[in-house]
Amino acid sequence: MRVLDRGSVTLIDHMGSDLTVCNAARVSFNSESEWCQDQEALTRLAETGSKYHKEDVQCLCPKDQKLIRYLAKHQHWTPFAHPQITLRIKAPVSIRTQFFKHKQGFVENEISRRYVSFEPEFYEPKWRGKPTNGAKQGSEDFISVDNETDMGYTNALRVCLYNYNELLRNGVAPEQARFILPQGMYTEWYWTGSLAAYARFYKQRIDEHAQWEIREYADAIGRIISPLFDFSWKELTT
């Protein structure tokens, strides 16, 4: 899923379901739930004569919906920590830093410019105005800047890239040459976390006080995870 100008969020793998959450909670009582059948879906499919798999007509039983709602409302996080999601994320370095502040329930492996040789890519943002209320962080609406200022940013990126390649051409080790690359450079990483961890990340980073760029990533992540854990995600994030 495309984010910003050159960023992305891609689902790599996931484990578990809404039912996993229920059974993680019910193990305390040595009991286990099973999927119910969606009678409305069965009726529609019967009317059209369509073939289907059992996954197409399974749904949470009402008692399990009630359980998930209770767990989320009272912040019983551990059952939501069993399902896992792995994403591949491409974002500017300065935005990656905000992702990596979320440590509990996550593990990451990032691309390294010590080893890769492809040309770096850079974020070219649409500019926003600085706060007018005296705040030291945040931004306001999108603004226009004069062409000279806008080109100054683009030219600075070109200079960084040129000097980076010159350092490499002159035999400097990649692990040192990369010091000249700016925070606007894109990087990529695998990010694996629990459903609970992603929900906490989403709620913090979709908030209107979060930086606009990280909100765009939070929105993309929410749209990817929601269909995988439909009922749990809704209860955890609303």
Q: What's the whole-number mean pLDDT along residues 26-35?
A: 95
Of these residues, 26, 44, 205, 223, which one is catalytic? Answer: 205
Structural domains in the chain, sorted by start: 1-16+83-130+139-238 (3.30.1360.170), 18-82 (no CATH)
205 among known catalytic residues = yes
**Cα gap 76→128, rounded to integer Å:** 39
Own/partner pairs, 210-214, CB within 8 angstroms, 24+ separation: 211/95, 211/98, 211/138, 211/139, 212/128, 212/139, 213/4, 213/91, 213/92, 213/95, 213/125, 214/95, 214/98, 214/99
pLDDT digits (tens, 9 = 90+) for 173-216: 999 999 999 999 999 999 999 999 999 999 999 999 999 999 99
pLDDT digits (tens, 9 = 90+) for 117-160: 999 999 999 999 998 887 778 898 999 999 999 999 999 999 99
- Taking 70 as the threshold, does the pLDDT of residue 163 lie above it? yes
- When the pLDDT of each residue in the chain is averaged and rounded to a whole number, the result is 94
